Amino acid sequence: MSDSVSLRGITDFAEDLAREAGELIRRERDHNILRTDYKQQTELVTHADIMADEFITGAIRKRFPDHRILSEESMPDLSQAEELETPLWIVDPIDGTVNYAYGHAQVAVSIAYAENGRVQSGVVHAPFPGETFRATRGDGATLNGNPVYHSGATVPRDSLFATGFPYTKDNLAPLISRLDAMIHQCRDLRRIGSAALDICWVACGRLDIYYENVSPWDFAAARLIALEAGATAGHFSEVPDGYPADLWGRDILISAPAIWEPVRQILRSASGYE
């Protein structure tokens, strides 16, 4: 770490930023005409995304000028995740932008802090229900200050799962194959629209399983929260050599421990990996 701030202090700082950004995006949606645009012609972005991003990244730069930032809106350069020598912040100012634009409550600010490719602190703040998930590596996970734990699910058949789908629709066949397999072998599906909250809901037992292909800013903070809540996190395909697993989002799988390997086998088979 580049100064004397403890990891718990880092998490406190991230929580303060997430809460303030949450108030900003609440205020923008409640009191202003929501301005929207598209990036890459497919993915919705709002003016509030940009405002929250500028607030969070500006505060990090001021406090930790030597640290790097990987942010969905202003600095989405994934090669940042491969440079492991300097501490890295991973930021999603609004995870669930479509939910946000449509007036849904499943919206989150996600902030993670990593050293040497390992996420050490994570905060996911959902401003509309007023829920703050946080974790510091080795200290457990909390929701609004109270400890949280995974569901303890023991078989896929009795398990509730969540996943998501990309904005581009040109390669949906593998995703539909996985969905078909999971629907037939699990209890049911929930489509929440925020990967960070999907994973945090696994952490606190509202869901048993989450899988998807996502970017680091979508899952980095929540993955640590799930791990600290006792869940198992990994991938149902291989992580490239030399890439930090904490930041690799392809074929991510997070679940209660007892069902992780059975679900991994379901997804590998449906994907044609075996």
| DSSP of 15-64 | HHHHHHHHHHHHHHHHHS---EEEETTTEEEEHHHHHHHHHHHHHHHHH-
In a shared domain, residues 19 and 111: yes
DSSP β-ladder status, 252-255 and 209-212: antiparallel
Q: CA 182, 207, 210, 160: dihedral to nearest 10 degrees?
A: 0
DSSP β-ladder status, 160-162 and 209-212: parallel
In a shared domain, residues 96 and 222: no
CA separation for the pair 58, 248 (Å, rounded): 26
For residue 230, what are the domain limits? 156-271
Contact predicate 142/8, CB 8 Å: no
| CA 201 to centroid of chain Cα atoms | 11
Does residue 238 form part of some domain?
yes
Model confidence, pTM: 0.93
**Over the stretch 134-171, which tens digit does the pLDDT of each residue have?**
999 999 999 999 999 999 999 999 999 999 998 888 88
In a shared domain, residues 106 and 44: yes
In a shared domain, residues 19 and 130: yes
Q: What is the CATH number of the domain that holds 41?
A: 3.30.540.10
Domain end point (choices 89, 117, 147): 147
Does residue 1 form part of some domain?
no
In a shared domain, residues 127 and 229: no
Mark the binding-site residues for Mg(2+), compressed into ranges: 72, 92, 94-95, 218
In a shared domain, residues 115 and 160: no
| CA 230 to centroid of chain Cα atoms | 17
In a shared domain, residues 29 and 96: yes
Domain end point (choices 82, 115, 147): 147
**Which of 179, 169, 159, 155 is CA-nearest to residue 271?**
179
| Residue 35: count of CB within 10 angstroms of its CB | 12
In a shared domain, residues 237 and 263: yes
**Over the stretch 105-119, which tens digit does the pLDDT of each residue have?**
999 999 999 999 999
Number of structural domains (the chain) is 2
Domain end point (choices 128, 147, 166): 147
Does residue 225 form part of some domain?
yes
Report the largest interatomic distance among the alpha carbons of the chain, rounded to a whole angstrom.
52
Q: What is the CATH number of the domain that holds 200?
A: 3.40.190.80
> In sequence order, what are the residues at sequence separation of 6 or more whose Cβ sits closer than 8 angstroms to the Cβ of residue 191?
162, 163, 164
Does residue 2 form part of some domain?
no
In a shared domain, residues 27 and 74: yes
Q: For each of the chain's 274 residues, which pLDDT tens digit applies?
A: 444 579 999 999 999 999 999 999 999 888 765 555 555 544 567 788 889 999 999 999 999 999 999 997 666 566 666 667 899 999 999 999 999 988 999 999 999 999 999 999 999 999 999 999 999 999 999 999 999 999 999 999 999 999 999 888 888 999 999 999 999 999 999 999 999 999 999 999 999 999 999 999 999 999 999 999 999 999 999 999 989 999 999 999 999 999 999 999 999 999 999 7
Mark the binding-site residues, compressed into ranges: 72, 92, 94-95, 218
Bridge partners of residue 70, in order along the sequence: 90
Does residue 193 form part of some domain?
yes
